[in-house]
Structure 1
Amino acid sequence: MSFALARQKGSTTRWNKFRSERNKKEKRGSSLRKRLYDPPKLAIWTRTFVEFASKLFLAGVVAYLLFAGYNFLLSSPRFKIQHISFQGNQVLSNAEVLEWLGSLKGQNLFAINLSELNQQLIEHPWIKSSSIQRKFPKGLDIEITERVPYARVKKDQNYLIDNFGVTLSPERPEYRHLPLIIMEKNKEKYLSNDEALHSLKTMRYFNKLPFFKNNPLDGAKIKGHSRVLFVTKNGDLQIQMSMNDLNEGFKNFMIILDSLEEKNLRVQMIDLSFKDQVIIKERI
């Protein structure tokens, strides 16, 4: 058995029409709500301008406070230098260091340039290195490492030099025990020569030997371009060496040392400047 169903066209058409109209109303309502809730462009621009102006004002306030604080640090009498402490200076007095730096007391603690002061200090011949620190609110700490005198050199007068050949100052009484380098006329260029300084180290090796205990080598005379003549303290013994081969000369001296002590020779000069040969000159 079968049934035939007849479609009701009228009711279906009405339903589709109703649904279409409802969808249109919903779209119109959505568009209306969107227009109602969207903020106007003028309000957005106003808010952006206010935020930018607020940030700009805050930045100006911070900049002003920094500028005012900086001026306060540079102008306040609370930060004028009144106390300067020194460390490490043994040869130079505090007054000599201050005289080299110039007037510091009364200057503003923040206005002085510590790097420039340090550079000025190490330009002093006696100062090898230095460090300067601010000590709040009114002080400076200056720490100095001085050069160590290594020998004396005779020019127009006797000068002190360190182990790098730097001339420190005219001779001081407390350093008259240091060996004296005597240069031939117009030979001052050898002062910075490594060989000339090495010759002084060789002289120190000699003085460590018992042979020179009572009469150490006390001076060195640079002769020509390659010879050095060591002289003992009382001047009765001279040792000549080649500055180009100081180590070999010292070894040769060690070879003959036993013979010198055994024979008790009255030696006036020992020439170690020749290779594989030692010349001994006795006093008459």
Structure 2
Amino acid sequence: MKANRAHIKDLLTAITRVFTVSSIIMLIWLSYFWGEKKSSLNQTNIYICGTSVLGSDYYLQYLESSFDAGNFHSDINILLDKIYEHPFIKGARLSHRYPDKVILEISERVPFARVNSGPDQMIMLDEHCFVIPHIEQVKSYSVPTLSRFNSEPKLYPIGEKALSVKIKDTIDWLRLLNQNHPDLYHNISEIFLTNNDEINLVLAENPTKIMLGNSDTHYKIDLLRAFEKTMGNKKNITDFAYLDMRYNNQVIVKE
């Protein structure tokens, strides 16, 4: 009987020792695991998607140069505040992917027209008349040039809407044209107003000049497209030097 009790006592002692050692090992492992996770949270990987104008690398460099790592890791949401400060950003949102990924989805302002403000000086606008920087990455965009408009710099604050009323009206006009006749919009090289606020278009091909006058201009565009159809495959509007549509229901052309 005494032998059995001694055996049980030795067994309990062994089990206690094994449990104690296992607990210590588990605590060490948990400490190491938490340390790794904490470290990974402080080394967040940022993924940017949705870019169509400037690449994701451009925005990553912008963010990295905007604040130091300490400020960034203290509050990941400052990413949104900082990215919204960039004049090309129209919208953005953040989502987290455990444990160390942050997905930054952005929507950019796309160049839609440029204002001619002098030799090698252009002011870029999006389709809602927001002023965006005319940087190297967008200089190759083929968009209509707005000439003979007031190009005073104070009327075009970067990241905000242009203040010129005529520019706003012209951008609205172009946006509707692009919605209804995108092929014609993409063929416009230049658009300018006369002293009587008559709209003149200069097409990229040849170039052909289209004089629309200052009233019912979108109706006249529809009339122009109907005129194109009547010519069939015999001619294109770019075969003419100009088309004068300032008069009601008339298209006067010069070859």
Structure 1 length-normalised TM: 0.55
- Find the counterpart in structure 2 of residue 245 from structure 1: 216
Contact 1:159–1:171, Cα closer than 8 Å, also in 2:
no
Map 1:259-270; keep pairs closer than 5 Å. 267-270=240-243
Q: Once superposed, what is the RMSD of the aligned Cα atoms? A: 4.0
Three-state SS of the structure 2 residue aligned to 1:129 is strand
Map 1:20-31; keep pairs closer than 5 Å. none
Three-state SS of the structure 2 residue aligned to 1:193 is helix
Distance 1:228 1:190, change over 3 A: farther
Give the Cα separation in 2 of the matches to 1:122 and 1:240. 40
Distance 1:88 1:272, change over 3 A: same
Contact 1:190–1:196, Cα closer than 8 Å, also in 2:
no
Map 1:31-50; keep pairs closer than 5 Å. none
Give the Cα separation in 2 of the matches to 1:268 and 1:204. 26
Three-state SS of the structure 2 residue aligned to 1:234 is coil
Rg larger for: 1
Identity %: 17
- Find the counterpart in structure 1 of residue 122 from structure 2: 158
Aligned residue identity for 1:120: K
Distance 1:118 1:86, change over 3 A: same
Aligned residue identity for 2:75: I
Distance 1:132 1:208, change over 3 A: closer
| Unaligned 5+ runs, structure 2 | 1-37, 156-163
Q: Does residue 75 of structure 2 align to residue 85 of structure 1?
A: no
Map 1:1-284; keep pairs closer than 5 Å. 79-101=41-63, 102-103=66-67, 105-107=69-71, 109=73, 111-112=74-75, 114=77, 116-156=78-118, 157-170=121-134, 172=136, 176=140, 178-186=142-150, 189-190=164-165, 192-199=167-174, 201-202=176-177, 208=183, 216-224=187-195, 226-242=197-213, 244-257=215-228, 267-274=240-247, 276-278=248-250, 280-283=252-255
**Higher RCO (CA-CA < 8 Å; seq separation 6+):** 2
CA offsets, 1:75-109, max 9 Å, x none?
A: x6564234222222243334432344323535574
Aligned length: 203
Three-state SS of the structure 2 residue aligned to 1:120 is helix
Tell me the CA shift for residue 231 of structure 1.
Answer: 1.0
Contact 2:111–2:141, Cα closer than 8 Å, also in 1:
no
Structure 2 length-normalised TM: 0.60
Contact 2:210–2:243, Cα closer than 8 Å, also in 1:
yes
